[in-house]
Amino acid sequence: MKTKTLTTSLGLAIAGLCAGMAQAADDLTLQLKWVTQAQFAGYYVAQDQGFYEEEDLNVTIKPGGPDIAPTQVIAGGGADVTVEWMPAALSAREKGLPLVNIAQPFKKSGMMLTCLKSTGVQTPEDFPGRTLGVWFFGNEFPFLSWMSQLGIPTEGGEDGVTVLKQGFNVDPLLQGQADCISTMTYNEYWQVIDAGITPEELITFKYEDQGSATLEDGLYVLEDKLDDPAEVDKLARFVRASMKGWKWAEENPEEAAMIVLDNDATGAQTEEHQIRMMSEVAKLTAGSNGALDPADYERTVESLLSGGSDPVITKHPGDGTWTHVISDKALN
């Protein structure tokens, strides 16, 4: 009986130890820049396919939205990592929020200006005298930089352009309020197409092609996280699993889109739109292993500094705005 009791006790102890180990996963909260959609498929895939679990992580993914500012969320302690565009991150850093880019899953920009051919716009030289829809809240700076490079004023008039503050829809183009509007290759452009306008009726100007693209959808943390070896290890595991998720999504766009839909609590997204979005997003993440390219960073900074009379940043940010420490550890 004693042997049986001892064996039972030992079994219970081992079971308890295993249960304790199972509960020891490190918690991490990720704040997205926008609502649940294929723009963030890599993170949802990593969660769904168990890549985070394999790295002993318990990741909470928080969707964004029109009333959510990722920089404010992370500043208030509501997230460990946030997905953000570099213009907004560098602007926040200059104003005192010590954000650091730890990984850059998006290699290319998806931002572009989409115009109706019927307006007569064929090249950027046709912009003066036109009304152009532009997103604000930090998203206007690539546009302002581009106009500055072209020598086109943004205060209106025959020699300049009239800037229409565009909401997160394509109505200004559809309703004739603007000659051109801001669109993403993976989202708003297709909203225009779905509204009944054919690609042949449109002309697009990609910021990548115009030399004024800035880095989008990087992963950012507060600087003090990098002073803690345990946090550095956790972040490296997070980046490793996330990039595994992104590569899986690139190779399986339809399945990745369905995973995104499974996580859309609002029910607002459609299967067709998300599959199409994932196919376009895959073109932007292709070629990235998660490590930020310093040349892309310098290009972004140069673009932001040349944003006319009201640049997003007033001087070169200097060292400390990005690091390879996390991505290097994740890749090894």
pLDDT(143) > 80:
yes
pLDDT tens digits, residue range 27-47? 999 999 999 999 999 999 999
pLDDT category of residue 2 using cuts at 50, 70 and 90: very low
Distance (Å, rounded) from C-alpha 152 to C-alpha 306?
13
**47-61, 138-152, 232-246: least confidently modelled range:** 138-152
Domains of the chain: 7-108+215-331 (3.40.190.10), 111-210 (3.40.190.10)
Burial of 6 from C-beta contacts in 10 A (0-12 / 13-18 / 19+): exposed
* pTM of structure: 0.89
Helix residue ranges per DSSP H, the chain: 2-22, 41-48, 51-54, 70-75, 86-94, 141-150, 171-174, 188-194, 207-210, 229-251, 253-262, 271-285, 294-305, 325-331
pLDDT tens digits, residue range 194-229? 999 999 999 999 999 998 889 999 999 999 999 999
Distance (Å, rounded) from C-alpha 239 to C-alpha 236?
5
pLDDT category of residue 332 using cuts at 50, 70 and 90: confident
pLDDT(307) > 70:
no
pLDDT category of residue 161 using cuts at 50, 70 and 90: very high
Distance (Å, rounded) from C-alpha 260 to C-alpha 186?
15
